[in-house]
Amino acid sequence: MVATSDYDEFHKLAKRCLLTNTLGSNAQRRHRHHRETMIENISSKLHDTLKKDPIRPINFREVFESELFGLAMKQALGKDVESIYVEEIGTLSRKEMHKVLVMDMMEGAIDVDWRDFFPYLRWIPNKSFELNIQRKHFRRMALMNALIKDQMKRIDAGEEVNCYLDYLLSEAKTLTMDQLAMLLWETIIETADTTLVTTEWAMYQLAKDTIRQVKEENFSQIRYLDAVFHETLRKHSPAPLVPLRYVHEDTQIGGYHIPAGSEIAVNIYGCNIDKNYWENPEEWNPERFLDEKYDPLDLQKTMAFGAEKRACAGSLQAMLLACGAIGRLVQEFEWQLKDGEEEKVDTVGLTSQKLHPLLAVLKPRN
């Protein structure tokens, strides 16, 4: 809702709540222990897997995705949830919850309604498309309502629950139940998806290019880790297109007349591979961001996080999670792609997620 709503009073309220409790700099300092626990869990799982079978390629996405989802649930609801009973659906496991809240929504966002290409045929029903979207939305709302009610029972019982839900209930009392559910869902999906995409691509590029792989002597050079992060965002923008923006009144952009009622999509991918701005844009080259013209503290080096008032509220969290994970994983393991993995660069979904999960052969350092 923060990402797609009009820039009005509700948008300002929703973004203020999100930044104050979850994604702002002060909130991120409070949530630091959650991030550190997540990275520690990932490291432990990788070490345990290698002890059982040192030469077997590891599915990085499987491990990272699970821990990210757990972090998202802790921030939104105060605890990780292994399973829950939903009256309209039945009992859902953690993996099934991830599918309903994340995977189904990402798939639904790119489902194509053929009528969009033939507006003059909008009067023709497209029942299969409509029913599919309605089913996904129904399951999402049913699950979110069940999660909210479960956590409200803890709050009513006097249990201290320091989370986004608790904050919204106390500070934004004018919200409807549907608005509450959507705001909570938004922070879950934003934490669980785009950071996964960025980190997986970064580890793929580092494992592929051993010459540029972060070496031990680089660990103290935070700028290089920052460069890896931003170069991955540039070449593999998690969201290739900015969410659609609705034009409320006739306007001019770049010499073009944009009539009211139009929807605008900014091509972030195109911006980040434009040869007028980037040298050899098809190459993954973190060193380009070591140039003194780039401020290490600037999160807007590329268009990956948008800009100005509509810049992504989660940019700081994405940087902290991705850089923390990349630094720790490269510090503890030597990475090498599984044979044949080099050519698997296809993407799928609303975000530019790798079509094939990253499979890498790891070797513990020391």
Q: Give first-to-last CA distance, the chain, whole Å.
A: 47
Query: CA angle, 49 as apex, 73 and 194 as ends, to 5°?
Result: 35
SS (H, E, C) the chain: CCCCCCCCHHHHHHHHHHHHHHHCHHHHHHCHHHHHHHHHHHHHHHHHHHHHCCCCCEEHHHHHHHHHHHHHHHHHHCCCCCEEEECCCEEEEHHHHHHHHHHHHHHHHHCCCHHHHCHHHCCCCCHHHHHHHHHHHHHHHHHHHHHHHHHHHHHHCCCCCCCHHHHHHHHCCCCCHHHHHHHHHHHHHHHHCHHHHHHHHHHHHHHHCCCCCCCHHHCCCHHHHHHHHHHHHHHCCCCCECCCEECCCCEEECCEEECCCCEECCEHHHHHCCCCCCCCCCCCCHHHHHCCCCCCCCCCCCCCCCCHHHCCCCHHHHHHHHHHHHHHHHHHEEEEECCCHHHCCCEECCCCEECCCCEEEEEECC
Largest CA distance in the chain: 66
- Which parts are annotated binding residues for heme? 312
Which residues are known binding-site members?
312
Cα separation, 95 vs 115, whole angstroms? 34
